Chain A
Amino acid sequence: MYLLVIFLPLLSAIICCFFSRWIGFLRAWQISTSLLGITFCLCLMIFYEIGLSSTLCTVEIGYWFNIGFFQSPWGFLFDSLTASMLIVVTSVSFLVHMYSGSYMEHDPHLGRFMGYLSLFTFFMLILVTGDNFMQLFLGWEGVGLSSYLLINFWFTRIQANKAAIKAMMVNRIGDISLTLGIALIYIYFKSVKYAVVFAMAKEFEFSNFYFLGFNWNTLDLICIFLLIAAVGKSAQLGLHTWLPDAMEGPTPVSALIHAATMVTAGVFLLVRCSALYEHASENIRLLVVIVGALTAFFAATTGLMQHDMKKVIAYSTCSQLGYMVFACGLSFYSVGMFHLINHAFFKALLFLSAGSVIHSLSDEQDIRQMGGLARLIPFTYVFIMIGSLSLMGFPFLTGFYSKDLILELAFSTFTPVGHFAFWLGSLAAFFTALYSFRIIYYVFIGPINGNRVVYSNIHDAPTLIAIPLTILGFASIFAGYVGKDLFVGLGTDFWGNSIYCSSINTSTVDAEFLPVFFKLIPVILSMCGVATAYLFQTHSLFTFKTESQVSVILFNFLNRKWLFDRVYNEWVSQKGLWFGYVISYKTIDKGVLEFFGPAGLTHLAKNLSRFSTNLQTGLIFSYAFLVLLVVLLLLSLTLFYYYEIAIIETFCIAISAFYIFLFVDRYVL
């Protein structure tokens, strides 16, 4: 059962990628969806066995590397962390598979699409189930590869190509960092297995490593590397630019990869390595908090002014990932994980609903071209409403139980950084509500702005789209309430040994006894966000907003994503390309190396031979002069026979004499 969970998606990928031509796209869709359905059921059973019954399962099926001390087995570790990730990955993946059958119905490459989706699921499962860092890395790279293939699914579109390359390259920065981290882990722990590394983490609390001219604490350095890896994969501030661009892929891809699974891999890494982070110095955790809080705030503000429906949701993903990361940084790994699970449900719901809207509007993505859809596609409206309310933490929906808990906990650490995270997170909650309702207003409530032809062909979600929406809708309402006591309840032993949290950093209880006012701040701010969104859209008082110079600047700043892309393009990418062309290509490769290498040598030989042939001018007196010179040279050679230095001097004199002769020959005669 345990291995079946991993290999059924692989089987599905193989069948869809290689045989869909023969079995037909419909059959490929049926097979992959049913295989994923079976996988999901198996994962439910695993969750029962591992999570609810508190057991642990490890499967080792041989060695990947077995070289001296470096042993990396093919091992699959199923603990409660893995089991909860499995639920998230396979449920969302199963629903997305089902959804794609309708959404991608008329696509000529449906078989390939299903294959890639299954391949992605397979790699994600490898990532979460691996019991060592090498296997995690395999899954890590694999999901990067699959995301490339999926973003680039419509490979004839240049934007999709560029977005896919960008996703791959930006992720690769984090991947390099992860490789460094794993290498460092191996250097110190002499093993890449989780069991060994996490058990020994305390031993290396005070060891040092010399890197980049600084003497680092080893665990700090490892944690920084892993953090950068998580930043790349989870689209945190700095390496977030790939995520919004990755919306070029089909919508189910965005739902699967960029909402529910792939981007959560970074948070999963942080949670998985909780033992390392807990033993590293406090500054590293503060760094994690700051990165996460800034991301939450940044992405929420950027989401305000985007006009592409999917990009708004992408920024909201980015923002929510920020919450998870700072929850991890504050040592509330279980809470971060809980938010990850809840977020997967409501974000997948939001993306799939957005896909439904886009589908019904003949692939229109710009919210300014929509409007008044509430009465035309009420079903989708209901689910996007559920998703948005859940996202903004409306009381007693899923998001409320994790997001507000994160903010409460951030406040109850009573440290400056905790409060920094709390206020940024609360502001982000305000903006989250603002942009969620901005979308809802633009798409469903506001005046109709679209094309009449599009509107006359409108249709609500077909069955295959409706089923996943319904399931995810129910999950978005109830998952938080159902899972609350299990995942983050007071004194729950669900996580067992899969998450380590040092007792000094635990302050879960404090959050329970906060003043009610502070507990209500996020909710109040969210409600204010809704009201602001409504007022901005409807009230004439706010119409000045488009004319004022300040608001134009502000709008441009937010619409252009805080100018991150511009700075990166102009100061990093273009400089990099310039360096690659001018310095390493023109100066070094074509310049120095060619000059002193083959081209230079042939050139030299050619020039020398031309020089020596030019000596023979055809004029008698030049020959006579040369003969005289050479005779003198030979005579002086005999003269200076015993003085080597003199011989060299004579040669130099002879050569300069030749040059003088040439000069005379060319310019004087």
Chain B
Amino acid sequence: MISVSVISILNFVLFCIGIFGIVFNYSNLLSILMSMELMLLSINLQLIVMSLVFDDLVAQVFALLILTIAAAEAAIGLALVVIFYRLRGTVSLKSINLMKG
């Protein structure tokens, strides 16, 4: 039996991988979307683990909702990426720099 804390740390690591994927990714828009999926998945997993720990179904409900939202968000994000690609012919992040402070 893997203890709860091990799984939590694993989730945290997964979440951090997602964050670093966003922050240190200088070129690819698609990998950002994937990192965001990874973050959402790690959150989902953590919710389910907690639902098991506290013996409460609400968290699982939340997990199901988040799955839905993650799917919708991925669909919209990919659609934006496609439109962006049509406009600029590339999905590099460095080309999204027109709005400066």
Residue of A nearest to B96 (CB): A620
Q: What are the interface flags for B13-25 relative to A under an 8 Å C-beta threshold, 1 for contact and 0 otherwise? A: 0000001001111
6 A/B residue pairs, CB under 8 Å, sorted by A: A618-B96, A618-B99, A620-B93, A621-B23, A621-B25, A625-B23
Q: Which residues of B contact A618 (CB under 8 A)?
A: 96-101
**Interface membership of chain A positions 606-619, coded 1 if the CB is closer than 8 angstroms to chain B and 0 otherwise:** 00000011111111
Q: Is B62's beta carbon under 8 Å from chain A?
A: no
- A628-B19, A628-B23 are known contacts. Are A621 and B93 too (CB-CB below 8 A)? yes
Number of interface residues of B (CB under 8 A): 15
* Chain A hits for B19, CB < 8 A: 628
Contact of A624 among B22, B97, B99 (CB under 8 A): B22
- A615's nearest neighbour on chain B, judged by CB, is B101
Report B-chain residues with C-beta under 8 Å of the C-beta of A612: 101
Q: Taking chain A's interface residues, is the majority helix, strand, or loop, or is none over half, making it mixed?
A: helix
For chain B, residues 1 to 53, give those with C-beta under 8 angstroms from any C-beta of chain A.
19, 22-26, 32
The complex places the Cα of A436 from the Cα of B88 at a distance, in Å, of: 102
The size of the chain A interface, using a CB distance under 8 A, is 14
- Interface, chain A (partner B; CB < 8 A): 612-621, 624-625, 628, 669
Classify the interface of chain B: helix, strand, loop or mixed.
loop
User: With A621-B23, A621-B26 known to touch, is A614 a contact of B93 (CB < 8 Å)?
Assistant: no
Give every chain B residue within 8 A of A621 (Cβ-Cβ): 22-26, 93
In the A-B complex, list the 10 residue pairs whose CB atoms are closest, starting with the nearest.
A616-B101, A618-B100, A618-B97, A613-B101, A624-B23, A624-B22, A625-B23, A620-B93, A619-B97, A618-B99
Q: Do B101 and A614 touch across chains, with their CB atoms under 8 A apart?
A: yes
**Which of A615, A616, A619, A628 contacts B93, CB < 8 Å?**
A619
CB of A570, distance to nearest CB on chain B (Å)? 57
Do residues B23 and A619 form an inter-chain contact, with CB atoms below 8 A? no
Q: With contacts A617-B97, A620-B93 known, what are 9 further pairs, Cβ within 8 A?
A: A615-B101, A616-B100, A617-B100, A617-B101, A618-B98, A620-B32, A621-B25, A624-B23, A669-B26
CB distance from A69 to the nearest CB of B (A): 69
Q: Which residue of A lies closest to B19 (CB)?
A: A628
Cα distance A585–B94 when bound, in Å? 50
Q: How far is the CA of A620 from the CA of B19 in the complex (A)?
A: 13
CA distance A364 to B23 in the complex (A): 91
Q: In the bound complex, what is the Cα–Cα distance between A517 and B97 (angstroms)?
A: 108
Per the bound structure, the CA–CA distance linking A621 and B93 in Å amounts to: 8
Contact partners of A613 in chain B: CB under 8 A:
100-101
How far is B98's CA from A624's CA once the two chains are assembled, in angstroms?
A: 16
Least Cβ distance of B81 to chain A in Å?
Answer: 12
User: Which residue, of A624, A625, A669, has the highest number of chain B Cβ atoms within 10 A?
Assistant: A624
- Report yes or no: A619 in contact with B22, Cβ–Cβ below 8 A: no
By a CB distance below 8 angstroms, the chain B residues around A616 are 100-101
For B99, list chain A residues within 8 Å (CB): 618
Q: Which residues of A contact B93 (CB under 8 A)?
A: 619-621
For window 72-101 of B, CB contacts with A under 8 Å fall at 93-94, 96-101
Residue of A nearest to B27 (CB): A621
- B32–chain A nearest beta-carbon distance, Å: 8
Contact present for A619 and B101 (CB under 8 Å): no
Looking at the assembled complex, report how far the CB atom of A235 sits from the nearest CB atom of chain B, in whole angstroms.
71
The distance in angstroms between the C-alpha atoms of A613 and B22, with both chains bound, is 22
Minimum Cβ distance to chain A for residue B88 (Å): 14
CB distance from B39 to the nearest CB of A (A): 12
Q: Which residue in chain A gives the minimum CB-CB distance to B100?
A: A618
A615 to B101, CA, bound (A): 7
Contact across chains for A619 and B94 when beta carbons are under 8 A apart:
yes
Q: With a CB–CB cut-off of 8 A, which chain A residues contact B23?
A: 621, 624-625, 628
Assembly CA distance A615 to B100 (angstroms): 9
Nearest-Cβ distance from residue A138 to partner chain B, whole angstroms:
68
Give Cα distance in the complex from A619 to B93, angstroms: 7
CB-defined contacts of A614 to chain B, threshold 8 Å: 101
Q: Which of B58-81 contact A (CB under 8 A)?
A: none
- Measured in the bound complex, the distance between the Cα atoms of B90 and A461 in whole Å is 106
Q: When chains A and B are docked, how far (Å) is the Cα of A612 from the Cα of B100?
A: 11
